[in-house]
């Protein structure tokens, strides 16, 4: 149900497109949920051009035949109900109904609201969004044979192990000094020790144990452990941590196979034990990040450049790997901060891709405006915390305002600058990102993205606080944040571009369209540090055109000439990684974060160009004339290798590399040969000379033979 606009509307002088035609044969069933939603069905049919709207009041019960009839027709069928999605899917499978089903929630997001009567444009947009085909997803496979290591400090660990012993191969490692009564029957090994290091994931954990000790079989009142050993390694598929201490991993909740609970919380322990019992077999885990090592700007020639992803990853899934980084898909928890911060697009989110996410934003906002909606507020939220808060607001509070357009993403922290820029280019008045009051992981990357987007949007006239987070667990507080929003300043003629290409391509396209439709466009905007755009400033007086920066630049923003000594810079390609600045031997390069929209199409500009020096033998240009002249001036007559009879050696400096080798070979010239050096004076020479001086003085009748006294 995506209403694509005529591309000609983007041209100056043409009316902007606000609708995209729906796919033929699309049907939507909208149920009022027993009359609890005041739906404007006439207005909805008018807004959803190309889609046949069917209505119901009790679709999931007394009107199930309406669903069966429409699903039997085939084509695309959207059901505006997610509560009963399992029921409808089961009926379609059992009855072998031909329609391709899609489901969308319009009840909690629009219909159950004090502004439900004005929500027709929103419902039309949500129905259009449901028509998006699901994104193809890649997975990695985790295999667990059920080998479990239970860490604990007391009997709680033994009780958990007793429960797990029926399904798992269990070992208990007691990490405390508390006295623990020995079990009546040895069903599993019990050991004592301390975990010094841990790595791995479900199916492949490896723990280094210090103070490892085994209990005596004759333990009576309490387990009596024998001698301790250090440096032992324990391998397990599952780790159940009931120590109550610090977790073994950062962002431990993202580490598949590592289950942790407070031993004092019986309910939490029971939950963890039940989950561990089911972790046997083969499991598919989403591959969240699509990584292209050849685009990475991490380092060159052991010089570090970009470290954005390394600084932000909460799970420790990213590590340096020569000139690029490596992302372990088995550890990656899918927060997406690496992708949002990556300036080159080497790390791009794939759940969904930035291209698909921007496409969803386009569908939502263009259909909302096409149905007559005004002042849209895009609300980006996750499916756990965000969706639950929206449901609570609909059930117990006033519900979302009619102009707030919810869009669910996997993780809010995956949202990058390209999504925010595209939203305002498509006509959003505000963008809000819904987070927990106390996020489980540091959302620093998201705040950095907002810090970059804010000055750009303000400079272009969209407003000073048009993009922000809402960090709350209270639905009333969330709704208050919308109630106090000032009117936005959306684009007068919103764009309708379709995003395509890689992440960096989508970002540049979105920013270019944001600038084109801006209320007050400006060409250049200063940006904060760690931005993905900017200029390289070169002190040309100190630059020797050694071109070390060119070889270090990972994006070819800096380039050299083919036949002349020159340096060019293409600001549209610069990602501010800093490799050129770190590599420059003269230290004449600086970075200036900024956004120059003209640079996207401007191409490379000349930084410095000099006259080449031509070989005195063959005439080939091989260096910079000013540099060769400086070298000659410093050597001629001032160094023994190039002075007097050796002055001819200066011709070697004036020759290219090929002629220099030929000259040295043919002339038999030793470039290191010089005047004979004086013989080395040894201690023996000194003693002989001293005795000679003494003898000479004695023959002359002098006193104080060695000069050490009279």
Q: What is the secondary structure of 247-293 as a DSSP string? A: -SSTTGGGSTTEEE--TT-HHHHHHHHHHHHT--EEEEEE--EEE-G
Question: Of all residues in the chain, what percent are helix, strand and coil, respectively (each to 5)?
Answer: 35, 20, 45
HEC-encoded secondary structure of 686-705? HHHHHHHHHHHHHHCCCCCC
CB atoms < 10 A from the CB of 287, how many?
18
Mean pLDDT for 590-612 is 94
- Residue 464, classed as helix, strand or coil, is coil
Beta pairing partners, 242: 152
CB atoms < 10 A from the CB of 430, how many?
26
Q: Output the pLDDT for position 282.
A: 97
Tens of pLDDT along 333-364? 999 999 999 999 999 999 999 999 999 999 99
By CB atoms closer than 10 A (0-12, 13-18, 19+), residue 396 is exposed
Is pLDDT larger for residue 74 or for residue 10?
A: 74
DSSP secondary structure string, 357-375?
HHHHHHHHHHHHHHTT--S
Give the strand pairing for 324-327 and 318-321: antiparallel
Asked if the model's pLDDT at residue 397 lies above 70, the reply is: yes
Mean pLDDT for 37-57 is 92
Average pLDDT, the chain: 91
Asked if the model's pLDDT at residue 24 lies above 80, the reply is: no
Q: Output the pLDDT for position 563.
A: 79
Q: Output the pLDDT for position 625.
A: 84
Phi/psi of residue 615, each to 5°? -60, 130
Tokens of 599: 């640079």
Q: CA-to-CA distance for 213 and 230, rounded, in angstroms?
A: 9
Asked if the model's pLDDT at residue 128 lies above 50, the reply is: yes
CA angle centred on 646, ends 642 and 651, rounded to 5° = 70
Tokens of 663: 């000259």
Is pLDDT larger for residue 342 or for residue 20?
A: 342
Q: CA-to-CA distance for 115 and 244, rounded, in angstroms?
A: 48
Q: Output the pLDDT for position 707.
A: 46
Mean pLDDT for 363-387 is 96
Q: CA-to-CA distance for 608 and 399, rounded, in angstroms?
A: 61
Nearest to 79 by CA among 69, 339, 145: 69
Contact 577, 529 (CB under 8 A): no
Please name each of the domains of the chain with its CATH number. Answer: 23-130 (3.40.50), 141-284 (3.50.50.60), 287-349 (3.30.70.20), 371-516 (3.40.50), 534-609 (3.30.70.3270), 612-667 (no CATH), 683-710 (no CATH)
CB atoms < 10 A from the CB of 485, how many?
18
Q: Output the pLDDT for position 401.
A: 98
Tens of pLDDT along 195-253? 999 999 999 999 999 999 999 999 999 999 999 999 999 999 999 999 999 999 999 99
Asked if the model's pLDDT at residue 702 lies above 90, the reply is: no
DSSP secondary structure string, 114-178?
TTGGG-HHHHHHHHHHHTSPPPP--EEEEEE--EEEEEESSHHHHHHHHHHTTTSEEEEEE-S--
Q: Output the pLDDT for position 140.
A: 96
Residue 631: pLDDT band with limits 50, 70, 90: confident
**What dihedral do alpha carbons 593, 557, 417, 133 form, nearest 10°?**
180
Q: CA-to-CA distance for 30 and 19, rounded, in angstroms?
A: 21
Contact 263, 242 (CB under 8 A): yes
Residue count of the chain, please give it: 710
- Which range has the worst mean pLDDT, 439-443, 491-495, 627-631? 627-631
Q: Output the pLDDT for position 620.
A: 86
Tokens of 579: 């490799």
Q: Output the pLDDT for position 3.
A: 38
Q: Output the pLDDT for position 705.
A: 46
Q: In terms of DSSP H, where are the helices of 460-569? A: 475-483, 503-516, 548-552
Residue 670: pLDDT band with limits 50, 70, 90: low
Phi/psi of residue 563, each to 5°? -130, 5
DSSP H or E segment with residue 43? helix 41-47
Nearest to 424 by CA among 373, 379, 489: 489
Contact 125, 364 (CB under 8 A): yes
CB atoms < 10 A from the CB of 508, how many?
21
Tens of pLDDT along 134-143? 778 899 999 9
Contact 70, 102 (CB under 8 A): no
Mean pLDDT for 618-644 is 79
Q: Output the pLDDT for position 1.
A: 43
Rounded CA Rg of the chain? 36
- Which range has the worst mean pLDDT, 11-15, 573-577, 705-709? 11-15
Asked if the model's pLDDT at residue 7 lies above 80, the reply is: no
- Which range has the worst mean pLDDT, 7-11, 317-321, 364-368, 525-529? 7-11
Q: Output the pLDDT for position 18.
A: 38
Burial of 66-78, coded b for 16+ CB within 10 Å and e otherwise, reads bbeebbeeeebbb
- Residue 78, classed as helix, strand or coil, is strand
Asked if the model's pLDDT at residue 5 lies above 60, the reply is: no
Is pLDDT larger for residue 663 or for residue 585?
A: 585
Beta pairing partners, 275: none
Q: Output the pLDDT for position 16.
A: 39
Asked if the model's pLDDT at residue 49 lies above 90, the reply is: no
Q: Where on the phi/psi map is residue 603: left (φ > 0), alpha (ψ -120 to 50), or beta?
A: left
Tens of pLDDT along 588-600? 999 999 999 999 9
Tens of pLDDT along 312-332? 999 999 999 999 999 999 999
Q: In terms of DSSP H, where are the helices of 397-466? A: 417-425, 444-459
Say how many Å lie between the first and final Cα of the chain, rounded: 116
Q: Output the pLDDT for position 645.
A: 60
Q: What percent of the chain has pLDDT over 90?
A: 78
Treating both helix axes as pointing N-terminal to C-terminal, what angle do 354-370 and 503-516 enclose, rounded to 10 degrees? 30
Tens of pLDDT along 290-312? 999 999 999 999 999 999 999 99
Q: Output the pLDDT for position 136.
A: 82
Give the strand pairing for 467-471 and 430-435: parallel
Q: CA-to-CA distance for 118 and 374, rounded, in angstroms?
A: 11
| pTM for this model (two decimals) | 0.85
Q: CA-to-CA distance for 342 and 336, rounded, in angstroms?
A: 10
Mean pLDDT for 616-644 is 80
Q: CA-to-CA distance for 591 and 528, rounded, in angstroms?
A: 11
Asked if the model's pLDDT at residue 19 lies above 50, the reply is: no
Beta pairing partners, 313: none
């Amino acid at each position: 149900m995506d209403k694509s606009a005529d591309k000609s509307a983007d041209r100056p002088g043409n009316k902007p497109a606000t609708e995209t035609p729906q796919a033929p044969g699309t049907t939507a069933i909208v149920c009022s949920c027993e009359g609890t939603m005041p739906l404007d069905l006439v207005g909805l049919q008018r807004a959803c051009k190309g889609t046949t709207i069917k209505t119901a009041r009790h679709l999931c019960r007394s009107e199930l035949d309406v669903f069966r009839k429409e699903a039997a027709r085939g084509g695309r069928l959207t059901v505006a109900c997610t509560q009963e999605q399992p029921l409808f899917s089961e009926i379609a499978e059992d009855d072998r109904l031909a329609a391709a089903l899609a489901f969308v929630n319009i009840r909690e997001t629009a219909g159950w609201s004090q502004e439900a009567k004005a929500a027709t444009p929103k419902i039309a947009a949500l129905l259009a969004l449901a028509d998006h085909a699901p994104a193809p997803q890649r997975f990695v496979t985790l295999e667990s044979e059920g080998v479990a290591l239970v860490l604990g400090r007391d009997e709680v660990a033994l009780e958990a192990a007793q429960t797990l012993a029926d399904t798992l191969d269990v070992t208990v490692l007691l990490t405390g000094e508390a006295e623990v009564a020995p079990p009546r029957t040895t069903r599993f090994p019990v050991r004592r020790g301390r975990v010094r290091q841990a790595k791995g994931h479900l199916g492949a954990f490896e723990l280094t144990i210090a103070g490892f000790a085994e209990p005596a079989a004759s333990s009576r009142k309490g387990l009596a452990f024998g001698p301790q050993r250090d440096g032992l390694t324990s391998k397990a598929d599952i780790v159940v941590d009931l120590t109550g201490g610090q977790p073994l991993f950062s962002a431990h909740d993202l580490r598949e196979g590592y289950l942790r609970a407070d031993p004092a919380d019986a309910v939490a322990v029971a939950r963890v034990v039940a989950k561990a019992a089911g972790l046997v077999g083969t499991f598919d885990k989403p591959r969240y990040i699509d990584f292209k090592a050849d685009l990475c700007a991490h380092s060159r020639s052991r010089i570090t450049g970009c470290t954005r992803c390394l600084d932000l990853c909460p799970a420790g899934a990213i590590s340096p790997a020569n000139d690029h980084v490596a992302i372990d898909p088995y550890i990656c928890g899918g927060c997406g901060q690496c992708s949002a911060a990556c300036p080159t697009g080497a790390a791009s989110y794939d759940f969904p891709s930035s291209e698909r996410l921007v496409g969803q934003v386009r569908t939502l906002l263009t259909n909302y405006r096409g149905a007559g909606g005004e002042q849209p507020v895009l609300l980006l939220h996750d499916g756990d915390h965000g969706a639950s808060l929206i449901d609570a607001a609909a059930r117990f509070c006033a519900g979302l305002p009619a102009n707030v357009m919810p869009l669910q993403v996997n993780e809010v922290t995956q949202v990058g600058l390209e999504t925010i820029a595209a939203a305002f280019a498509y006509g959003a008045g505000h963008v809000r990102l819904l987070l927990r009051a106390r996020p489980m992981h540091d959302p620093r990357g998201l705040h950095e993205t907002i810090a970059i987007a804010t000055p750009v949007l303000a400079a272009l006239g969209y407003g000073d606080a048009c993009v922000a987070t809402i960090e709350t667990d209270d639905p009333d507080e969330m709704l208050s944040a919308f109630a106090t929003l000032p009117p936005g300043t959306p684009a007068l003629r919103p764009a309708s571009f379709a995003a395509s290409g890689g992440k960096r391509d989508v970002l540049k396209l979105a920013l270019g369209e944001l600038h084109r439709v801006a209320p007050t466009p400006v060409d250049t905007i200063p940006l904060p540090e760690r931005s993905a755009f900017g200029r390289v400033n070169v002190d040309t007086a100190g630059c020797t055109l050694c071109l070390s920066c060119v070889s270090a630049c990972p994006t070819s923003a800096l380039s050299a000439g083919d036949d002349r000594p020159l340096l060019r810079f293409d600001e549209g390609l610069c990602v501010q990684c800093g490799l050129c600045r770190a590599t420059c031997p003269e230290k004449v390069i600086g970075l200036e974060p900024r956004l120059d929209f003209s640079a996207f199409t401007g191409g490379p500009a000349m930084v410095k160009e000099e006259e080449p020096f031509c070989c005195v033998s063959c005439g080939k240009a091989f260096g910079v004339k000013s540099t060769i002249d400086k070298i000659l001036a410093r050597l001629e007559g001032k160094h023994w290798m190039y002075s007097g009879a050796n002055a001819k050696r200066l011709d070697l400096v004036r020759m290219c590399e090929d002629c220099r080798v030929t000259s040295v070979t043919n002339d038999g010239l030793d470039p290191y040969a010089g005047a004979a050096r004086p013989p080395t004076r040894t201690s023996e020479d000194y003693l002989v000379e001293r005795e000679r001086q003494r003898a000479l003085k004695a023959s002359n009748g002098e006193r104080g033979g060695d000069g050490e006294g009279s």
